[in-house]
Amino acid sequence: MITFFVAFLVSLMVALGLTYVVRNQALAWGWLDQANSSRKVHVRPIPRLGGIGIVAGFFAPLCALFLVDSGVGHHFRLHTELISGLFMGGAAIAALGLYDDLRGAGARLKFSVQLIVALGLYHLGFRIEVIANPFGPELTLGALSLPFTVLWMVGVINAFNLIDGLDGLAGGVAFFGVSTNFILALSRGDVLLCLLMAALAGAILGFLVFNFNPASIFMGDTGSMFLGFVLAAVAIKTSTKSGTAVAMLVPVMALGLPLMDTLLAVVRRSLLGRPLFSADKEHIHHRVMSRMVLSHRSAVLVLYGLCGLFMLTALGLNFANSAQSALLLCGMGVVIAVMMRKLGYLDLGRAGDMQQRRQRNIRLRSLVKEVIGAVREARSLQEVWSAVRLLSEVLDVSRQELRFQHLRDGLLDGVVFETQRAAGLSMPFELRLEVKDEEVVLGSLLLVWRDGRNTIDRDEELALELVADAVAERAARLLAVADADPARVVVLRR
């Protein structure tokens, strides 16, 4: 136990110190997560890259074992496949997250790296070969072991990425998963897994000092994907040492909240015709805040309580027989069903218009893709406006305005594009989106409806934010050309 405590303490201190340094440097260098989207919950720019502290905190005591001549260190060094998988796979995932936090990584790059890492782990022996069935004999996967293992790894990594939506939530959820694995490993006398979980627990708590609401730094994709990777890999090792009656059920239950949230997101977006990788504010943590009318911190504490319930269920499954496991699963199923009903996921009254919303969203996605493509190919601000004008008729807008502003030689140049159409006589409802490139405001996109609405559909809002982002990106390049070679560009005046 002393070794575990030392690993925990070293990891805690490294994570504390490094997170503090990274936070200050991120503030100094402008590495901030901007509050410039309706998808964001925070209202001010917050430093990101806090995941660096988690990664370093986790690896610090493990690297020290290579230098210390001890029984634990010798035992650690003997497990070359486990060490290679965690170190190489963890480094690859952390590097991917760091690149995404600094430069932005597309879904294709993310999934490619995650797939390669998952295949590498499978080659090193991280394999799911048996699925538990408390109601009957276990299921042997056979040839399906590879795709199931890859799906598990990629799924858990992205589940933690999705759950990272409130201050302290992803770290807290991970801590409950770590605690479950630590208790299970301790009960089996698995020194190595205990050591790994003690190190990760210290790294998480060291980071949570700065991340719990109100957060002064975010973990970013560096932290969320790394946590998902380590827990997914350790879960496989935990399941292979379980009795077949609970193989894979325990880690699934231990990570119940992020896995359930990911499954709901996939089903929701598929039924509504939304892109699977689009962002929205209908995750479990968002609905806990809105449906239960809770503050940011209260919502996180409620979800901590739910994670605690998942943790107790996972531990119960590990020590229960088949009949008791079935009862535990049925009881947890009732709890989940009640929660889904409370949060509005099982609202049958909305099922009738789902097909209409799906068809509308598919048309909207097609329109947005066309508009963004035209914006990116525009060779002037006039052509940018010509592309954006397509929105007015499809969205039944009565007035649409695109305004650009640009500071040159101490003077504010600008241009305004506007179109109006007869579309209702009700009181106007306005939506104004900033056209913003990083910290620089380049203008705004204004849309006005007179069809009697007093709010905007969430799918339309997300689509318009994507258009505004594309306009900002293209306008920044066009205005940069104007600064480099003024003779090639007509000066814009309001």
Binding site, by residue number, is: 161, 221
Q: Please spell the DSSP secondary structure of 415-451, one letter per residue.
A: EEEEEE-----S--EEEEEEEEETTEEEEEEEEEE-S
> Distance between CA atoms of 311 and 318, rounded to whole angstroms?
11
CB atoms within 10 A of CB 69: 7
> Is residue 201 within 8 Å of 171, Cβ to Cβ?
no
As to burial, measured by CB atoms within 10 angstroms (0-12 exposed, 13-18 middle, 19+ buried), residue 225 is buried
As to burial, measured by CB atoms within 10 angstroms (0-12 exposed, 13-18 middle, 19+ buried), residue 389 is middle
* SS3 letters across 29-68: HCCEECCCCCCCCCCCCEECCCHHHHHHHHHHHHHHCCCC
> Distance between CA atoms of 3 and 11, rounded to whole angstroms?
12
**How is residue 5 written in tokens?**
């405590």
How many whole angstroms from its chain centre is CA 465?
A: 18
**How is residue 305 written in tokens?**
């309580």
367: CB partners within 8 A, 6+ apart: 390, 391, 394, 463
Point out the annotated binding site for Mg(2+).
161, 221
> Is residue 475 within 8 Å of 437, Cβ to Cβ?
yes
Preceding omega of 275 cis (within 30 degrees of 0): no
Backbone angles phi, psi at 275, to 5 degrees: -60, 140
